[in-house]
Amino acid sequence: MLEDLPSAPSRGSRGCALDRETGPLAALRSRGANLLPRFARETIRAATGARLGGPVLPQLHLLQQPAVDRHQIRDQSDEEGLEPHHDQDGGQDERLDFAAGILAEEVEAEEPDSQSETRGDEEARVRKTRERRREQSGDGYVACARSNTVAVFDLDSREVIAQVPVGKEPIGLVHDRRSGRVFTTDARSDVASVVDTRTLEVIKQIPVRHYPAGAGLYAERRKAYVGNTADSSVSVIDVDTLEVIATVPAKLAAGSIAADPLRDRVYCVNFGDASITVIDGAADRNVGEIKVDYAPCKIAIDAPRGVAYVANSLVSTVAVVDLERQEVVNTVPVERAPVGMALGPRGDRIYAANRGTGRVSVIDRETGREWARVAVGKAPGDLTVDATTNTVYVSDAGTSTVSVFQDRLREKPDELPKDGRHPLVGHPLPPFRLPDMVDGRERTSAEWRGKKYILNFFASW
């Protein structure tokens, strides 16, 4: 069954990451009574007057720190298969406010043993107390493109810990557990920001090429890869020395990146070229290309099975790529505009975030079919999975939240979702008349006949 849990807010969130060393999601246990067999959801929201990034394409990474301004549990009882979560007092909304990234509640600390203890000593004790709490739990990170921050939230309490300022419009985000660092790709600053997850401070900003939007980690080779969308290239960063060590040519609008350590390959999807660039992980050179469908947004790799999954946003499909043959071997129809992609901990489940419908497609690997759709916030952009608890975290750009649900499906449901694609997909565009946003002149489909063009309906890209 799929159970929805609480979601967390994030400003224009794009990338997400989780870091959980020990322990299950205690908040799920405390709020998990009377959950229906299929879904039970929670939502993490931003504080009043501040949105977690704004309505843009979010990317989520579950690491050891996520950030939010307010925690709110939404009543989803009017949706089939959903059960609202209640606090212990019977209420349906729980709000915790944050100011300037500081939790607005008392933090337990030892009493000072003398009147002479300084304010600095007290702050140090509070900081150590918070660090101990984080070590016992785990954190999630969200790249918030509109607020130019990384939001950090506690996985158990789903409370925001901090908002870490980075460069302009952070989009991609990865976490290197060994070094304890989060890397963001800051598109409008042309840098990759490096956040120390212990201090929650930026320790370096690494210049890369133009409009870096994608990020991928190859932990085994101690490298981070950056897809430079406006430069059609991939920057390679040594995650220990924090220096760019190579630049690899890719194709138009290079973006999402994933590594395959078993074949020593790195794959970059090219949004504007309908292709995947194949990179040698040792030599950092372009060694091939795989053609996919239009506007690939995100790639996820199942290395043991030799398969990659690619979200093709403009045609609303998930491509299944055989990494040995380097070709598409299957295509799974999903709902409108899938832009985020993640795999379940056993590789038997594929999740696609459908930006156009506000739902996540749950795909069974063996049958290659959608088994369910989970309603989340508006315009979901990316998602990540906590392998310890099989909990899915979704960054919702349109509502500035992170939605959380748990997948407990064990067998094929009696009723599968119907085809959710728009009836116009795959057919000629009907005649239209639209005002030109530059000069206000009415433009028609007739003057574009025979020309190649893209109608971009994304809120942000």
Residue 78: which pLDDT band, with cuts at 50, 70 and 90? very low
- Give pLDDT tens digits for 399-422: 888 899 988 888 888 888 887 666
CA dihedral 123, 127, 132, 137 (to 10 degrees): 140
In the predicted structure, residue 397 carries a pLDDT above the cut 80: yes
Residue 81: which pLDDT band, with cuts at 50, 70 and 90? very low
Of residues 6 and 337, more confidently modeled: 337
In the predicted structure, residue 241 carries a pLDDT above the cut 60: yes
- Residue 3 corresponds to which amino acid? E
What is the token pair recorded at 104? 């607005």
- Taking the C-alpha atoms of residue 283 and residue 41, their distance in angstroms, rounded to an integer, is 44
| Domains identified in the chain and CATH numbers | 2-109+118-430 (2.130.10.10)
Q: Strands 59-63 and 13-20, how do they pair?
A: parallel
CA dihedral 392, 317, 262, 283 (to 10 degrees): -110
- Give pLDDT tens digits for 26-76: 222 222 222 223 344 455 443 322 233 332 333 333 332 222 222 222 222
Kindly state the greatest CA–CA separation across the chain: 82
In the predicted structure, residue 104 carries a pLDDT above the cut 50: no
Element at 26 (helix H, strand E)? helix 26-31
Least confident among 87-101, 130-144, 266-280, 355-369: 87-101
The fraction of the chain above a pLDDT of 90, given in percent, is: 50
Give the mean model confidence (pLDDT) for residues 357-381.
93
Q: Strands 138-144 and 102-103, how do they pair?
A: unpaired
- Residue 116 corresponds to which amino acid? S
Of residues 379 and 1, more confidently modeled: 379
What is the pLDDT at residue 415? Answer: 86
Residue 243: which pLDDT band, with cuts at 50, 70 and 90? very high
What is the pLDDT at residue 408? Answer: 84
Q: Please choose, from the candidates 166, 187, 204, the residue with its C-alpha nearest in 3D space to the C-alpha of residue 271.
A: 187
Of residues 60 and 310, more confidently modeled: 310
Of residues 189 and 124, more confidently modeled: 189
What is the pLDDT at residue 425? Answer: 63
- Give pLDDT tens digits for 281-293: 999 999 999 999 9
- DSSP for 163-201, please give it: EEE-SSSEEEEEEETTTTEEEEEETTTTEEEEEETTTTE
The one-character DSSP state at 64 is B
Residue 20: which pLDDT band, with cuts at 50, 70 and 90? low
What is the token pair recorded at 445? 């489909």
Nearest 5°: phi and psi at 220? -65, -30
The answer to whether 401 and 388 are in contact (CB under 8 A) is: no
- For residue 38, the SS3 value is coil
Least confident among 92-106, 130-144, 361-375, 421-435: 92-106
The one-character DSSP state at 67 is B
What is the pLDDT at residue 456? Answer: 52
- Give pLDDT tens digits for 325-359: 999 999 999 999 999 999 998 889 999 999 989 99
What is the token pair recorded at 262? 């078993």
What is the token pair recorded at 331? 């295509």
Residue 200: which pLDDT band, with cuts at 50, 70 and 90? very high
Nearest 5°: phi and psi at 184? -115, 145
Q: Please choose, from the candidates 161, 37, 53, 184, the residue with its C-alpha nearest in 3D space to the C-alpha of residue 100.
A: 161
Residues 6+ apart with CB under 8 A from 447: none
Instruction: Quickly tell me which residue has 């002479």 as its tokens.
Output: 116
Of residues 55 and 247, more confidently modeled: 247
Residue 265: which pLDDT band, with cuts at 50, 70 and 90? very high
The fraction of the chain above a pLDDT of 70, given in percent, is: 67
Mean pLDDT of the chain: 75
Nearest 5°: phi and psi at 270? -110, 100
The answer to whether 383 and 394 are in contact (CB under 8 A) is: yes
Element at 120 (helix H, strand E)? helix 119-136
Residues 6+ apart with CB under 8 A from 94: 71, 72, 73, 87
Give the mean model confidence (pLDDT) for residues 89-102.
25
Residue 138: which pLDDT band, with cuts at 50, 70 and 90? confident
- For residue 206, the SS3 value is strand
What is the pLDDT at residue 32? Answer: 24
Of residues 121 and 259, more confidently modeled: 259
What is the pLDDT at residue 158? Answer: 84
What is the pLDDT at residue 361? Answer: 95
CB atoms inside a 10 Å sphere around CB 419: 12
- For residue 222, the SS3 value is coil
Of residues 106 and 300, more confidently modeled: 300
What is the token pair recorded at 159? 């409370």
Give the mean model confidence (pLDDT) for residues 183-201.
96
Instruction: Quickly tell me which residue has 């020395």 as its tokens.
Output: 241
The distance of Cα 123 from the centroid of its chain, to the nearest Å, equals 33
